[in-house]
Amino acid sequence: MDSGFAGAGLDPRPRLSRDAAMLGGMALLLAAVAALWMFQGLGQGNRSFLLGLRGAKLAALVTVAVAGGVSTILFQTVAANRVLTPSIMGFDALYVLLQSGLVVALGGAGFVGLPPAAKFTAEVAAMTALAALLFGTLLLKGARDLPKMILTGVILGVLFRSVSGFLGRVLDPNEFAVVQSVSFASFNRVDVTLLPWAVAATALAVAAAWRMSAILDVLALGRDPAVSLGLRHRAAVLAVLTLVAVLVSVSTALVGPVAFFGLILAGLAHGLMRTSRHALLLPAAGLSGAILLVGGQWLFERLLSQAATLSVVVEFAGGLFFLFLLLKGRIR
Amino acid sequence: MRPLPVLGAALLALMLVSVSVGAAQVDLRTILSDHRAMLVVLESRLPRTVAVVLTGAALSVAGVLIQALVRNRFVGPDTSGTAEGAALGLLAVTILWPASPLWLRMIAASAAAMATTALFLAVVRRLPVREVMLVPIAGLVLSGVLGSVVTFVGWQSDLMQYVGTWLMSGEFSGVISGRYELLWFAGIAAALAWFSADRFAILGLGDGVATGLGLSTAAVMRLGLAVVSIVTAMVVTTVGMIPFVGLVVPNLVARIMGDNLRTSLPVVALAGAVLVLACDLAGRLVIRPYEVPAGLILGILGAVLFLWLLHRRPAHG
Amino acid sequence: MIQIDGVSHRIGGAPILHDISTRLPQGKLTALIGPNGAGKSTLLRLVGRLEPLQAGRITVAGHDVATTPTDRLARVMAILGQQTAIASRLRLSELVAFGRWPHHKGRPGSVDRAKVTEALDAFALTPLAGRFLDEVSGGQAQRAHIAMAVAQDTDWLLLDEPLNNLDMAHARALMRRLRAMVDGGRSVGMVVHEINYAAAWADHVIAMKNGRVVAQGPAGSVLTEDLLSDLYDTPIQIGEHRGRPLVLHHC
């Protein structure tokens, strides 16, 4: 991460070192929190079993955090707006709908019987295509009237959730909890069978995003300046949306929908970094997310014995943050 | 074609169908001689039909009022934090005084709904004036935040089951005689609003105009707030919140009839009743003998209608 | 030369431009004038491929706007649309530095740094270089945007109402700067609202009304009392000041 990406900035060196130091500090903090998570209160029992369990959960938490932070920054960049998250725009609802839709289309028994990896891959692929199509259209057409675009996305999310609830009811009329179970995230019940695939998909998508940093910097200027500078705007938007779709699929598959979490991470990243260069913003968002989630889960699960509540607290804080931004006039 | 008689006829027809559709076979022609069928109709079918009609009508009227209060067409009682407020009130009274009588719960739900709706109004007043679309976004997010509080408290106090039925069912299958009568309060509150229809219409024109015409905006605001809160609280308590009715129906009616509330409010009420009843019927028929909650169907239909309203070419203004 | 042939355009069904054919000559400062809603901005945005072309053909220095890769076009022309707020929190120097992006694609060299310094200097922005965009005035931000387009260092520079937000001194400085660029061999096309800037500085004028070109030619031949009174539907007199026309419309 040298100063080769100084696409912005006349002389970025002094600030770069400050921001790099900040990233280094965050990495150290994450290492400390992760160590705390792994080894605190390990006891004398079956250590290797417990360590394996904790390790898997740590990996899941970090994956979800990185996916949430990076996908939010990416989405805000293509929307040229600082207050959107993919979830506010209905991305995760689309994924949930897709899951139930695939069960209906391909037959319950057959699809559910597939190995999880194949199922997950199919879902991510379908999600990517659909999301690029839908949100690509929405973003490319709706750029003129941002609030209307946001409202459309929010309502699409409601629509997706209702349709998946409907499909759930039709598939299994005795299942009264369908709507509830998909309405809330839980950092507590993580689907471990998917973990290796989720980690791999996230790593690939994040690496691809980081390689696009310079293009993302230009994209963030908004459509007109980006086109004027010769960026192939439409192709870039679709490429970024593809990455967002992969990341949101991973995160939703692991823990369920989280609407406002990414907003906090993006806000933190922009607040902590004194630059708008994505080469630094993306790692900052991922790191702050990982610290928050691992630290928060440790606090709630081990100290307060309230494993289930972290997601609710995160949503509450994120929602309040959004309202705060709204009232401050930052959403326009 | 005048909307009032057409909607009235449609509502009557749907009510007849509603009374005759259900798990048990009932033949309306022989009902007077069939004691068992009579019991089914009086104890279950008729109460359910009435409950649906009251809910649809009252929620639609509440929608008109909240839209007049915030002067924005894209909000409804389900996206203003009102329903979540009612649920919070119910939760509080259930936890603090589990054996509380029904009237106390009603008051608690209505009062809390009023408080959260007032909060929404306060938020709206601080938004930049020109940004029409920010108002519904603020409402949706406020609802989400309040909803997460409700969920949290529900979780902690093991009352999630209730929270589920209040906020996300919108289901009439549990309605029988003796368990829906609260909805009459909603109906009465909505009917009261009609007597002040002119005031709400003027309120919708803006503070300046209202004051210029000598209207005390604060009093009208309080009345509107009370009606919206009572209607929502009763619906939440009895059948659970029904999405989009209060948002979509006023818009559709205003497109045809304009905003002269004295003539349009009855049409709004009828149209809301027809819409919810049609959705409830569809929910009863689609996977017989099982049911899909009317709220779920409205979630789909309402969202589609809303997207259409949002993206159509503006017809007026 | 920018050649425009048979261009028509609709936005949401409403016709904005009707079969426009005109050209912006090479090595000249061309001003697009006309009343509100004439279609000037739309035409400029079509030339700058900010809007997709619906009908007709536009070439910039021989490059067909519809078919030439956009990054190639970015080295031929720079276009500045009417300024909108930028979501990223950028320093002025960082914004101007983006003007070099078409040349280095993320890896700036010493030439790029030199051009940025030059552009900042040319628009008197050097003292403000470290400030964030949301910390400077509207006029200062506008100058930074123009500096960014200038730093792009292209043969063609297209500006949509660049004088917005600029005070008299800075507006004059900008026009002088553009004049110097044109005298140095570049070509400039701009939408101008205040007619006297066109009168004082433009070589070539294209007058538009209701989506049509109503007059075009050397400034002296277009800026006449009859034509302008017709164009703006308001009585206009023309005086003379230092050998250039001066449009009088305040009495």
Rounded Cα–Cα distance for residues A74 and A221 (Å): 13
Task: Provide the residue-wise pLDDT of chain C in tens; the chain has 251 residues.
Answer: 999 999 999 887 789 999 999 999 999 999 999 998 899 999 999 999 888 899 999 999 999 999 999 889 999 999 998 866 676 778 889 889 988 988 888 888 899 999 999 999 989 899 999 888 878 888 888 899 999 999 999 999 999 999 888 888 989 999 999 999 999 999 999 999 888 898 889 999 999 999 999 999 998 888 888 888 889 888 888 888 887 888 887 65
CATH number of the B3-311 domain: 1.10.3470.10
Determine if the peptide bond prior to C235 is cis (ω within 30°).
Answer: no
Compute the nearest-CA separation of B300 from chain A (Å): 5
pLDDT digits (tens, 9 = 90+) for A233-270: 888 888 998 899 899 888 888 887 777 788 888 888 88
Of residues A263, A248, A257, the one with CA closest to residue A323: A263
For chain B, percent helix, then strand, then coil, each to nearest 5? 75, 0, 25
Structural domains in chain A, CATH included, are: 67-327 (1.10.3470.10)
Q: Are strands C77-80 and C156-160 parallel, antiparallel or unpaired?
A: parallel
Query: Are B292 and A152 an interchain contact pair (Cβ–Cβ within 8 Å)?
Result: no
Of chain C, the end-to-end C-alpha distance in Å amounts to 38
| The residue type at B257 | M
Query: Are A227 and C80 an interchain contact pair (Cβ–Cβ within 8 Å)?
Result: no
Query: What backbone torsions phi and psi does residue B12 show, to the nearest 5 degrees?
Result: -60, -45
Contact indicator for B95, B267 with CB cutoff of 8 Å: no
pLDDT of residue A329: 63
Compute the nearest-CA separation of A122 from chain C (Å): 34
- Residue C70 near chain A (CB below 8 Å): yes
Which candidate in A3, A228, A234 is best for mutational testing of the C interface (most C CBs within 10 A)? A228
Instruction: Report the SS3 class of residue C57.
Output: strand
Count CB pairs under 8 A between chains A and C: 105
Chain A contacts of C85, Cβ < 8 Å?
Answer: 332
Contact indicator for A94, C101 with CB cutoff of 8 Å: no
Rounded Cα–Cα distance for residues B38 and B60 (Å): 31
Query: Are B243 and A158 an interchain contact pair (Cβ–Cβ within 8 Å)?
Result: yes
Query: Are C88 and A221 an interchain contact pair (Cβ–Cβ within 8 Å)?
Result: yes
| The residue type at B132 | V
pLDDT of residue A7: 41
- Residue A203 near chain C (CB below 8 Å): no
pLDDT of residue C181: 92
Nearest to C74 among A221, A222, A228 (CB): A228
Query: Are A152 and B128 an interchain contact pair (Cβ–Cβ within 8 Å)?
Result: no
Interior angle at CA B68, CA B65 and CA B74, nearest 5: 95
Instruction: Report the SS3 class of residue C77.
Output: strand
Residue B227 clears pLDDT 70, i.e. is over it: yes
Query: Are A10 and C72 an interchain contact pair (Cβ–Cβ within 8 Å)?
Result: no
Compute the nearest-CA separation of B79 from chain A (Å): 11
Tokens standing for residue A189: 């019940």
Query: Are A155 and B127 an interchain contact pair (Cβ–Cβ within 8 Å)?
Result: no
Domain boundaries, chain B: 3-311
Rounded Cα–Cα distance for residues A48 and C143 (Å): 64
Residue B281 clears pLDDT 50, i.e. is over it: yes
For chain A, list residues with pLDDT below 50. Answer: 1-13, 175-183, 332
Of residues B102, B240, B235, the one with CA closest to residue B164: B240
Rounded Cα–Cα distance for residues A166 and A299 (Å): 37
Q: Are strands C187-191 and C14-24 parallel, antiparallel or unpaired?
A: unpaired
Contact indicator for A69, A285 with CB cutoff of 8 Å: yes
Nearest to C88 among A224, A227, A276 (CB): A276
Nearest to A224 among C50, C104, C117 (CB): C50
User: What are the residues facing C24 on neighbouring strands?
Assistant: C2
Contact indicator for C215, C207 with CB cutoff of 8 Å: yes
- Residue A7 near chain C (CB below 8 Å): yes
Q: What is the mean pLDDT of chain B?
A: 84
Of residues A250, A331, A273, A265, the one with CA closest to residue A296: A265
Compute the nearest-CA separation of A225 from chain C (Å): 7
Residue percentage of chain B with pLDDT more than 70: 95
Cβ-based neighbours of C52, under 8 Å, separated by 6 or more? C66
User: What are the residues facing C17 on neighbouring strands?
Assistant: C9
- Residue A137 near chain B (CB below 8 Å): no
Better-scored residue on pLDDT, B89 or B179: B89
pLDDT of residue A190: 67
pLDDT digits (tens, 9 = 90+) for A128-147: 888 888 877 777 776 666 66
Query: Are A323 and B141 an interchain contact pair (Cβ–Cβ within 8 Å)?
Result: yes
Q: Are strands C63-64 and C55-60 parallel, antiparallel or unpaired?
A: antiparallel
DSSP state of A194: G
Contact indicator for B168, A182 with CB cutoff of 8 Å: no
Determine if the peptide bond prior to A12 is cis (ω within 30°).
Answer: no
Instruction: Report the SS3 class of residue A218.
Output: helix
Compute the nearest-CA separation of A64 from chain C (Å): 25
Rounded Cα–Cα distance for residues B21 and B15 (Å): 10
pLDDT of residue A308: 63
Residue B86 clears pLDDT 80, i.e. is over it: yes
Query: Are C107 and A270 an interchain contact pair (Cβ–Cβ within 8 Å)?
Result: no
